[in-house]
Amino acid sequence: MAWSTRELAELADTTVNTIRHYHRLGLLAEPERRYNGYKQYGVEHLVCLLRIRRLVELGVPLAQIGEVRTNGAISSDVLRQVDAELAVEAERLQRARADIATILRAGVPADTPAGFESVAPRLSEADTSLLHVHAQLYDADAMKDLQRMAEDEDDPTNGEFDALSADADEATRQRLAEQIAPVLVKHLAEYPWLSDATGRTSHGERVTRETFLDAVANLYNPAQLDVMGRASVLARELRQSGS
């Protein structure tokens, strides 16, 4: 029995392009051609192709398969490595499914930072973006602290700060800064690492600091940045005075 490329693909439940790809990689031998120039595959090609497909189903990379023309022997070390990688991928998929369930239950955007689904409706676009940056800069424990801070509903100024226009007047800026400062003092007392993140970062201290400052400068308008600066100074004065 001889088969064309299309017929071989149908028998093996694969595609013509896949067979051609295996030819290019040297995994599947090129068959003889008929008098009319068409390829003529035999049983040995079908068996070889099915062996390759079986190894692919197991997750063995094509680079590890080599030519499987007579047997499909793959070392135990390769299989153990594949199994370890599959275990990691299975764990990632489980986390993804759990996250999707949380997102659907909360009815929040799919790109909401993990762990912040419950407060997503109260986060501004800038806050959400900054949290994504934070997740790359700080460790898991630090992100849990930031989550608890975001869940703190004692700060009545969040909405007003988010809506602050770039040309907000002096009085508004100062009032907001004075309202935010006590909240900063509270957070700094509860989470001392906010003052010194050494040991809580995923990257070097310099990279973390520069990335954070660049992100803040780009995500918030001049008035908001001014309020942040004023609130930071006031919070430092409050801590020093012990108020």
- CA-closest candidate to residue 81, choices 64, 93, 94, 97: 64
Q: Which band of pLDDT confidence, cut at 50, 70 and 90, is reported for residue 36?
A: confident
Is residue 41 over pLDDT 80? yes
Is residue 230 over pLDDT 70? yes
Domain ranges of the chain: 5-71, 75-107, 113-241
163-209: pLDDT as tens digits: 999 999 999 999 999 999 999 999 999 999 998 888 888 888 889 98
Comparison of pLDDT for 241 and 99, the residue scoring more? 99
Specify the CATH class of 5-71 in words.
mainly alpha
Residue 180: CB atoms within 10 Å: 23
> Average pLDDT, whole number, for the chain?
90
Containing 33, the helix (H) or strand (E) segment is strand 32-33
pTM for the structure as a whole: 0.73
59-68: pLDDT as tens digits: 998 988 874 4
Q: Which band of pLDDT confidence, cut at 50, 70 and 90, is reported for residue 69?
A: very low
> Quick check: helix, strand or coil at residue 105?
helix
Q: Which residues contact 188 (CB under 8 A, 6 or more apart)?
A: 194, 195, 235, 239
Q: What is the pLDDT of residue 72?
A: 54
